[in-house]
Chain A
């Protein structure tokens, strides 16, 4: 439980202070370890709300990272089952 809380806080700090690709990669790893890693969506939402602006490459959608993390959150169940990873590891 301690590790779970620590991971959540660490991820939110990553999302705020480190480049997005690093936080995203770390978030994916945490998501594989913990079955309900809601912090991934929360971190993405904070990033989108803080830095999001309509860009042509996202079709003017300003919550791209949140949607991506939500998709990953849903897909995680199927991926982990296929990979035979028993979660949670910690």
Chain B
């Protein structure tokens, strides 16, 4: 006896429909992903999502206030340790201010004044939320933000550049995003080289073994004024290799930032 397989027309149609949808999706994704034709779509998505992130930020703040309540003795202890820390930082700031003043005087003498204009931006979404290691900022073309503008973690520590600008939002691409290459200068001798981002605010550089550098040396962006990226954390040298692997970390904890500064004019 020959059994005819029962063809379920409904299932067949469903499968064809799914295959068709997937095919159309692949074609669209190819076009949008490679040509950036989907930038308008991104603008719409960001317009819809930005208010949600803003509300989340406000809600998170309130929750943190509620959770962070602790006992009186613990608060006193914390207060005392913070006071001590503040005293140390105040002394450091005095020192830094003196150096800054001296620096600006020298720059003025050399006609290289540092009169940069900064724009404060709130971080709506931190970089670890996406695979792209980008942060969403609450300023956009409405605030005269342009692609390629430098972004500081504090007022003088560069962390990345603006990669995409929409009407009310902008995307910050970090220097430390995995695979991203930044031109830097290392140490007192300002040795020019490239640093490759490895994610999480970390960088890796390859330099000849006999390069005069040591742990703690400053790494800056090239040019004037000096913008410090971080300091050398580790130098790995192997007997068989001609190059030394140098690791450094951004001077700013990028995941802890709630505000950043965009350099509008340098």
Contact = CB atoms under 8 A, between A and B. Distances in A.
Interface of A: 16-20, 36, 41, 46-58, 60-67, 70, 73-74
A52 B129 CA distance: 11
B132 A51 contact: yes
Contact of B42 (A36, A49, A64): A49
Contacts of B130: 20, 47, 50-52
10 contacts: A20-B130, A36-B18, A46-B49, A50-B136, A51-B131, A51-B171, A55-B132, A56-B180, A62-B36, A62-B38
A83 B41 CA distance: 38
Contacts of A62: 32-33, 36, 38
B131 A65 contact: yes
B173 interface: yes
Contacts of B133: 55
B32 A51 contact: no
B125 interface: yes
B89 interface: no
A51 B26 CA distance: 20
Interface string B15-52: 00010001001100100111010100110011001001
Contacts of B36: 54, 62
A19 B223 CA distance: 36
A18 B129 contact: yes
Given A17-B56, A36-B18, A46-B45, A66 B134 contact: no
Interface of B: 18, 22, 25-26, 29, 32-34, 36, 38, 41-42, 45-46, 49, 52, 56, 125, 128-134, 136, 163-164, 171, 173, 177-181
Given A55-B177, A67-B33, A50 B38 contact: no
Contacts of A55: 132-133, 173, 177-180
Contacts of A41: 25
Give the secondary structure class of A's interface: helix
Contact of A51 (B18, B22, B38, B125): B125
Nearest to A56: B179
Given A64-B131, A74-B22, A50 B45 contact: yes
**Central interface residue in A50, A63, A73, A74, by most chain B CB within 10 Å:** A50
Contacts of B163: 53-54
Nearest to B25: A70
A19 B128 CA distance: 6
Nearest to B45: A49
3 closest Cβ pairs, A-B complex: A51-B130, A63-B33, A57-B179
B42 A52 contact: yes
Contacts of B45: 46, 49-50
A16 B132 contact: no
A50 B42 contact: yes
Nearest to B173: A53
Given A47-B129, A56-B180, A73-B22, 10 more contacts: A16-B52, A17-B56, A20-B128, A36-B18, A51-B125, A51-B171, A53-B132, A53-B134, A53-B164, A70-B25
A53 B171 contact: yes
Contacts of A18: 129
Contacts of B38: 49, 62-63
